[in-house]
Copies of this chain bind each other. A is one copy, B any other.
Amino acid sequence: MGFGERLEQRVQELGSPLVVGLDPHASRLPEPIAARLDDPRAALGAWGCGVVDAVQGVAVALKPQVAFFETWGAAGVGALADICAHARTRGQLVILDAKRGDIGSTAEAYARATLDDDGPMRADAVTLSPYLGPESLAPFVKRARGEKGLFVLVRTSNPGAGEWQADIAVRVADWVRQTNRELGGDPGPVGAVVGATLPGAPWRDRMPGAWFLAPGIGAQGAGPEDVQGHKRPDGGGLLAIAARGILFGDVAREGTDWQDAVSKRAAALAARFARP
């Protein structure tokens, strides 16, 4: 089954498009994890695997943010591999948020490092930055002919994003549509990153069938009403990312352990975004 269909199946099963980000901010990790940070691989691994377990049955996929793991060097990257392996054993999808983008043998190396079975992460999909052109995406498209997927940065909503994206985002969007058509998937395995706090309808018009990965939910402000335009006419096609709003909170006030708190926050947010 292609990645687009696997996502479709997951969203149907769970009834909600929630994707949980894994962003290990050092200063916000739960106290029992922070206390173990003298062994960062073990501590970060325990945290990430704990989140994977806590959102089982609620999250469509996990989205580890590679940058945070990389601040711990080899230990962090090792923990990320451990978390990806654990997610696989739980049948959870992993979208590696890496925003990689390079060419030739380097692009091929990134594809192997993130997706391949003989690589360290073996994720289901990866986020990519398209500045270097279609060639930079080709090794990932090749893997999307099998079971893997990719999400290409199209249009984001951060301050100043429009300054350089404005003119090319539409062309990248056209490439997404065209590539999905060539791959024959419906929905296809090539998704688009489209910010949650900007109008989604123009982008949905350009990429009618593509999966949209929408950052900016929860702690960053966007609610279900903001992403109506991101959806397909049938209400599908949207993956709503939340990270900090689920991962971190005032556990003492919540009166429970950190994993249970993550579980409850995820369930509450998933319910808000549930398909009617």
Interface size on A, residues (CB 8 A): 53
Q: Tell me if A164 and B131 are in contact (CB < 8 A).
A: yes
Tell me the interface secondary structure of chain A in the complex: helix
A168 at the A/B interface (Cβ < 8 Å)? yes
Q: When A78-B73, A163-B171, A168-B164 are in contact, do A65 and B106 touch as well, CB less than 8 Å? A: yes
Please tell me which one of the listed residues B75, B113, B133, B158 contacts residue A67 in the complex, with CB atoms under 8 A apart: B113
Q: Tell me if A74 and B74 are in contact (CB < 8 A).
A: yes
How far is the CB of A150 from the nearest CB of chain B, in Å?
15
Chain A residues 92 to 130 lying within 8 A of chain B, measured CB to CB, are 99-107, 109-110, 112-113, 119-121, 129-130
Interfacial chain B residues near A106, Cβ < 8 Å: 23, 65, 67-68
Write out, one digit per residue, whether chain A residues 124-146 have a CB within 8 A of any chain B CB (1) or not (0).
Answer: 00000111111110000000000
Please tell me which one of the listed residues B78, B163, B164, B165 contacts residue A74 in the complex, with CB atoms under 8 A apart: B78
A180 at the A/B interface (Cβ < 8 Å)? no
How far is the CB of A166 from the nearest CB of chain B, in Å?
8
Interfacial chain B residues near A121, Cβ < 8 Å: 73
Q: Tell me if B134 and A71 are in contact (CB < 8 A).
A: no
Nearest chain B residue, comparing its CB with the CB of A81? B73
Please tell me which one of the listed residues B25, B74, B156 contacts residue A81 in the complex, with CB atoms under 8 A apart: B74
Chain A residues 20 to 71 lying within 8 A of chain B, measured CB to CB, are 23, 25, 41, 65, 67-68, 70-71
A87 at the A/B interface (Cβ < 8 Å)? no
Nearest chain B residue, comparing its CB with the CB of A112? B71
Interfacial chain B residues near A160, Cβ < 8 Å: 133-135
Chain A residues 149 to 205 lying within 8 A of chain B, measured CB to CB, are 153, 156, 158-165, 167-168, 171-172
A11 at the A/B interface (Cβ < 8 Å)? no
A18 at the A/B interface (Cβ < 8 Å)? no
Please tell me which one of the listed residues B107, B113, B136, B161 contacts residue A133 in the complex, with CB atoms under 8 A apart: B161
Given contacts A99-B129, A103-B158, 13 further A-B contacts (CB under 8 A): A67-B113, A70-B77, A70-B110, A73-B121, A74-B78, A99-B132, A130-B164, A131-B165, A133-B162, A133-B164, A134-B160, A164-B172, A167-B167
Jot down 26 A-B pairs with beta carbons below 8 A, ordered by A: A41-B74, A67-B107, A68-B106, A70-B110, A70-B120, A71-B112, A71-B119, A72-B120, A73-B120, A74-B81, A74-B120, A99-B100, A99-B101, A101-B101, A104-B158, A130-B164, A132-B158, A133-B156, A134-B160, A134-B163, A135-B159, A135-B161, A136-B158, A164-B168, A167-B167, A168-B168
